[in-house]
Amino acid sequence: MLDILKIKSNFPIFFNNKKLVYLDSAATSHKPQVVIDRISQFYSSENANVHRGIYDLSERASEAYDAARKKVAMFINAKNSREIIFTKGTTESLNLVAYSYASNVLKKNDEILVSDFEHHSNFLPWQDVCKKTGAILRVLESDKFGRITKNEWQKKLSTKTKIVSIAHASNVFGTISNIKKIAETVHQFGAVLVVDGAQAIPHLKVDVQDLNCDFYAFSGHKMLAPMGIGVLYAKDKLLDLMQPYQLGGGMIESVSMKETLFAQYPEKFEAGTPNVEGAIALDKAIDYLLDIGMDEIREHEIELSKYLLDGLNKISRIKIFGEIGAEGRTGLVSFYVEGVHSHDISDYLSKSGLALRSGFHCAMPLHQSHRCGATLRASYYLYNQKEDLDFLLINLKKAINYYG
Amino acid sequence: MDDLYRSELMEVYKDPTYKGNLTYPSIVLDKTNTFCGDHVHLSLLIEKGVIKDAKFDGEMCFVSIIGADFLLEEIIGKNIEDAKKIDQEKVLKLINLNLTTSRIACATLTLKALQEALDKYEK
């Protein structure tokens, strides 16, 4: 059992906003003091550019940056830290796969397969790559549980499929996909599997070798690290096939007036001064998470999900979006109130101090395919308590009464 | 908390005066709020350059319903030229709600529909 009050006291946002009931961790998580302090410490006593100077301060900054890469590799069990590319977030990671890998290998009429519950960041780059290469984007339709049925896979996956890109966990349903099984199937058809891990990595133990995915993309800011740092994991044999799509300093072996020789990966894909503070703060965030324990966090979230699903089910006009139990979802539930607009409910809740998201959660195609308007999404993390959910449930009932 | 909105607005929300469809409209226009997917269907009856009647319908939140009902109240009886002069500022003043930036788009959804409808009508 986690001591939530103790954990909460590590997050200064709650001290500085006493009335805040934060249920929007799927959008971004709060940061513990140790992560905030790590950034401050870097700029106060360690600041220098990395891999540039041979003076002491620069060497130390470079070492801290490299150590962060190793920490991430350890966290997701990558074979080698060179398979970790730092980006500014999941969006950039997925764009990197689209432009540095897909654009180079795809031919006309090859197929890319995504699901209908993808975040826009896992749709738009593929739409664009298809326009540029003549490849075809096909969409797997989810059922009411937010799952892709076997039949749907059989219908859409073929030897024409070259890339499958799918969320490890949906940011709307919360449904966790069985990536290991999907990887097996996808590889049988000779395609590569890209995983959008943004909603999974804060909540689940991720082992990229066990999952056997080819790419895994995620952001730091949803897992207690700052905004502006993210990761793309890529299997080394695929990194060999990728061409950088951003060029500049820090990613070259040698440059002459006529020709440039790129550095090896991962530097090859990190042109320009990287987000060093972000990387080392991510390192700290990982320490913090491991210290508490990913299994313990998961257990706590399942308990919260059960409690919330139970409470929501007791309110008659509430409809839960994605009929899946607590074990099958990450720490979030999306729902709507029949007859009342989600933005109106959200307005009411916000006046009571509740922070939760309403809208399409950057997944408009999903709301279209499930014929649903804007939804409300309550998402929680290691610093949330049952009391937060009670407060939500009480105010939801009040809001429903208010709008009549 | 029960004073989130003024009580007279709550009455408008529950039973808007101008909600519905005109049987013989001069022009109809559909407009979607891209932020949330809300959607208004506006119908106008125009005779000799004057807006004789107007109705709205659609999938709308509280703020967009209030924005629509107050706007239609304002334009009925006005000629096209005067109706076209109504801008965002005017609508926000009419409804007198303390709105965050993201919800101004809700309040002005029907205004945008009206502006497009009048332009289309004149073409």
| pLDDT tens digits, A161-173 | 999 999 999 988 8
| pLDDT tens digits, A233-261 | 999 999 989 998 888 877 878 888 888 88
Nearest residue to A213 via CA among A238, A231, A176, A230 = A238
In this prediction, residue A180 carries a pLDDT of: 97
In this prediction, residue A369 carries a pLDDT of: 62
Answer yes or no: is pLDDT of A359 > 90.
Answer: no
Instruction: Determine the residue among A344, A346, A397 to mutate to test chain B binding: the one whose Cβ has the most chain B Cβ atoms within 10 Å.
Output: A344
B3: confidence class by pLDDT, cuts 50, 70, 90: low
In this prediction, residue A339 carries a pLDDT of: 86
CATH 3.90.1010.10 is the classification of domain B15-122: yes
DSSP state of A100: I
Which of B4, B14, B62 is facing A341, going by the closest CB pair? B62
B1: confidence class by pLDDT, cuts 50, 70, 90: very low
* CA of B113 vs chain A CAs: smallest distance (Å): 20
Instruction: Determine the residue among A120, A347, A362, A395 to mutate to test chain B binding: the one whose Cβ has the most chain B Cβ atoms within 10 Å.
Output: A347
A372: confidence class by pLDDT, cuts 50, 70, 90: low
Q: What distance in Å separates the CA atoms of residue A44 and residue A41, rounded to the nearest whole number?
A: 5
A-B C-beta contacts closer than 8 Å: 46
Structure tokens at B117: 């409808």
SS3 A189: coil
**A28-37, A134-143, A320-329, A365-374: segment of lowest average pLDDT:** A365-374
Residue at A145: amino acid letter: F
A366: confidence class by pLDDT, cuts 50, 70, 90: low
Residue window 342-361, chain A: list those with CB within 8 Å of chain B.
342-344, 347-348, 351-352, 358-360
Closest chain A residue to the Cα of B38, Cα to Cα: A373
| pLDDT tens digits, B92-123 | 999 988 888 878 999 999 999 999 999 999 88
Q: Radius of gyration of chain A from Cα atoms?
A: 22
Which residues in chain A touch residue B61, judged by CB atoms under 8 angstroms apart? 341, 343-344
Domains identified in chain A and CATH numbers: 4-30+293-403 (3.90.1150.10), 35-290 (3.40.640.10)
- Point out the residues of A that are catalytic: 362
> Residues A199, A167: contact at Cβ < 8 Å?
yes
What's the whole-number average pLDDT of chain A? 93
More confident residue, A308 or A145: A308
**A18-32, A258-272, A390-404, B10-24: segment of lowest average pLDDT:** A258-272
Stated pTM of the model: 0.89
| pLDDT tens digits, A67-89 | 999 999 999 999 999 999 999 99
> Residues A167, A122: contact at Cβ < 8 Å?
yes
Concatenating the DSSP letter of every residue in A43-85 gives: IIII---TTT--SHHHHHHHHHHHHHHHHHHHHTT-S-GGGEE
Inter-chain CB proximity B35 and A341 less than 8 Å:
no
Kind of pairing between the strands at A161-167 and A192-196: parallel
Structure tokens at A301: 């979230």
**A148-152, A214-218, A367-371, A390-394: segment of lowest average pLDDT:** A367-371
Q: What distance in Å separates the CA atoms of residue B71 and residue B90, rounded to the nearest whole number?
A: 9
